[in-house]
Structure 1
Amino acid sequence: MTPAGRRGTSAALSPSAVSAIAGELRLACMRISRRVRFESTHEVPPHQFSVLARLEEAPRTPGELADIERVSPPSMTRTVAALVERGLVARTADPSDGRQVILSLTPEARRVLREIRRRRDQWMTVRVKSLTPEEQEVLRQAASILSRVAGE
């Protein structure tokens, strides 16, 4: 990053400086995401956690989940079967199409999701607490900016 970019001046950065920032930011976000994702893998592997989080939004069919997660239907079938076996996902017949099943979370899955998120937040909190107040403020501002960059 250029010294001007660090001072927060309104001068536009060069395209190469913006590209360098983008690369550094992408790598940092990937590393943090990987570390946070793997914080509770002993309880639920990341790919299963992702499916549980999707089902928390709404009950879905296995096909919908495969599309959302961008995996093959057979792969999703294996993931769902493992979650059903662990008592985290319930299958019910689709009332409008008897050939389909609707997947939903069990109360145990909701507890597991809360616990995993608590551990992940705790992991991040420990790291943020170790920063200076100024750095914490920068991250507070960055969180809002990163949400906009992510399109949320």
Structure 2
Amino acid sequence: VRDALRDLVNEGLVTPRPRTWAVVREFTASDITDLIEVRSALEVLAFRLAAQRRTRAGLAKLRADLDAERAAAERGDGAEARRAAADFHETVTELADNALLTELEGTLRSRMRWLLGQHDDFTVVAEEHEELFRRIEARDVEGVEELALRHLETSQSKATEHRRRLAAE
């Protein structure tokens, strides 16, 4: 349990309290803004490099992530759709074939998965992932950058809607 808690602290998901229990971290508006800024920089780079460096095997893995996401979205399985969407983003980072980018993604993985799960519109996200996949497959670097930026805006607006709905409940 101590090792698991230490891992969660290192991932930024738990806040340790000396001589007492650790508590689950609550992300402030400022924390979320910081995450969005970092995500924007890293993901646009990841998508651009993925379009340049993609391989057949990488595309097959990305397709499998996307198919799992679409199937979960169609079933209304939010947990699985979120998981597969996060897997899609991680596979894009793998396709980028940049060791430092992969290391940074690993360090931020849990927080980014949390951030990516802050919406309920699985179909819209899956459709944008489909379009991103096509751009990567076609090695359309400019198109994938433009679409990645639009995807970030969609994610942010869907997350804002989601938080407003939760606050109203």
**1 or 2, which has the higher helix percentage?**
2
**TM-score, with structure 1 as normaliser:** 0.33
Higher RCO structure, 1 or 2 (CA under 8 Å, sep 6+): 2
